[in-house]
Amino acid sequence: MAIPPAAKRVFQGIIHDVYQWSQKLFDGSSSTFEMIVRQPSTEILAIVNNKIVVLMQQQPGRKAYPSLPGGRVEAGDTALHTAQRELLEETGYTASRWTLLDEFSGNQKYYFRESLFLAWNCKKVGSQKLDAGEKIKVTLVPFDDFLQLCRNPRFVAAIPLKFMMYEALLDMKKRGELKKRLKLNIWGKAK
């Protein structure tokens, strides 16, 4: 998915912008198309002793929900930088190595760049530093339990990551591959 080159920003919000462009139709006529561009975000699979860091989050105005560490990438910042900062602030952990596991970009009507990082060999180096809008409990979850989380309707995560988790539940080969990608990083072998 991408923002069409001809698209123009018609509204700038806090985390969402609105873009419109003139789209030629099959009969030669034109119509104004519209899409949302959301502020990019990061999400982190943080590995601690073969387990995955899952947050139990509370935010104002909504019920508690499980999620991965992560957060919005501010203008001028990088996704990796954001991921490293968010992991430290939300959990007190740092990682000895970071790799970009995948990147998502939303759909035709909703451009949303999400960077999924793998943070391996995480160690606790301090305490949480939370925003006024956050209450977070850090839990460590074994891989097989983590996979089951995609079936929890309250689990907040990138939709393509949820599909990856469902695929890993359905397909033993894909499950092995995903496990291997995470394990390789846990044990520090070449990627």
The contact set with a copy of itself (CB under 8 A) reads 4, 10-11, 13-16, 18, 20, 23-27, 29, 31-34, 36, 38, 60-62, 107-110, 131-135, 151, 153, 156, 159, 162-163, 166-167, 169-170
Task: Give 13 or 176: the residue with its C-beta nearer to a copy of itself.
Answer: 13
Cα–Cα distance, 33 to 69 (Å, whole number): 34
In total, the chain counts a number of residues equal to: 191
Residues 6+ apart with CB under 8 A from 151: 166, 169
Task: Give 27 or 190: the residue with its C-beta nearer to a copy of itself.
Answer: 27
Cα–Cα distance, 54 to 75 (Å, whole number): 27
Q: How far is the CB of 61 from a copy of itself (least distance, A)?
A: 6
107, 37 Cβ separation under 8 angstroms: no
3-state secondary structure (DSSP) of residue 89: helix
* CA nearest to 58, candidates 130, 165, 113: 130
Q: How far is the CB of 75 from a copy of itself (least distance, A)?
A: 16
Q: Which amino acid is at 10?
A: V
Q: How far is the CB of 16 from a copy of itself (least distance, A)?
A: 6
Q: How far is the CB of 47 from a copy of itself (least distance, A)?
A: 25
Task: Give 110 or 187: the residue with its C-beta nearer to a copy of itself.
Answer: 110
Task: Give 61 or 190: the residue with its C-beta nearer to a copy of itself.
Answer: 61
Task: Give 37 or 48: the residue with its C-beta nearer to a copy of itself.
Answer: 37
3-state secondary structure (DSSP) of residue 179: helix
Q: Could you count the other beta carbons within 10 Å of the beta carbon of residue 61?
A: 5
Q: How far is the CB of 93 from a copy of itself (least distance, A)?
A: 22
